[in-house]
Amino acid sequence: MKRNGSAIWQGDLKTGKGRLSTQSGVLSEAQYGFNTRFEDGPGTNPEELIGAAHAGCFSMALSNVLGEQGLTADRIETTATVTLDKAEGGFAITAVHLEVTATIPGTDDATFQKAAETAKVNCPVSKLLTAEVSMTATLA
């Protein structure tokens, strides 16, 4: 299975503008640029897209791990915070922190923590990222 996203960039780094699109069409020429990445301009940026992808992937992975244990979550809510830091030679994504809160009938915190850790390690997006991936898991 292959999926794709695409970008078009026009201009220099600080004043240029870009557009991002996805194969599914969910994103269709979504605006991004220096001001959306390093300031508070309207539009998106690669880091928040990585965060959304990681949060979605992790939530599905956790659902799978729970299902293997005969458990079904009523709700899994995940936020992935992606850190972009100035590094030698430019910028680097240095960390991702997963904040997950789940409502899972019939389980306890120890079971949930183990399932969340297994999902974090085995989520395909976690495997892709070379940055440190940390997590806070809360059973609601």
pLDDT digits (tens, 9 = 90+) for 23-53: 999 999 999 999 999 888 889 999 999 999 9
Q: Tell whether 28 and 56 lie within a shared domain.
A: no
Q: What is the pLDDT of residue 60?
A: 98
Total domains present in the chain: 2
Q: Tell whether 51 and 18 lie within a shared domain.
A: no
State yes or no: pLDDT of 138 exceeds 90.
Answer: yes
Q: Tell whether 80 and 125 lie within a shared domain.
A: yes
Buried b (16+ CB within 10 A) or exposed e, 50-70: bbebbbebbbbbbbebbeeee
User: Percent of the chain beyond pLDDT 70?
Assistant: 100
- pLDDT mean over 84-105: 93
Q: Is the pTM of this model over 0.85?
A: yes
Q: Tell whether 18 and 75 lie within a shared domain.
A: no
Structural domain harbouring 85: 46-139
Tally of CB atoms within 10 A around 86: 9
State yes or no: pLDDT of 130 exceeds 80.
Answer: no
DSSP string for residues in 39-92: S--SSB-HHHHHHHHHHHHHHHHHHHHHHHTT---SEEEEEEEEEEEEETTEEE
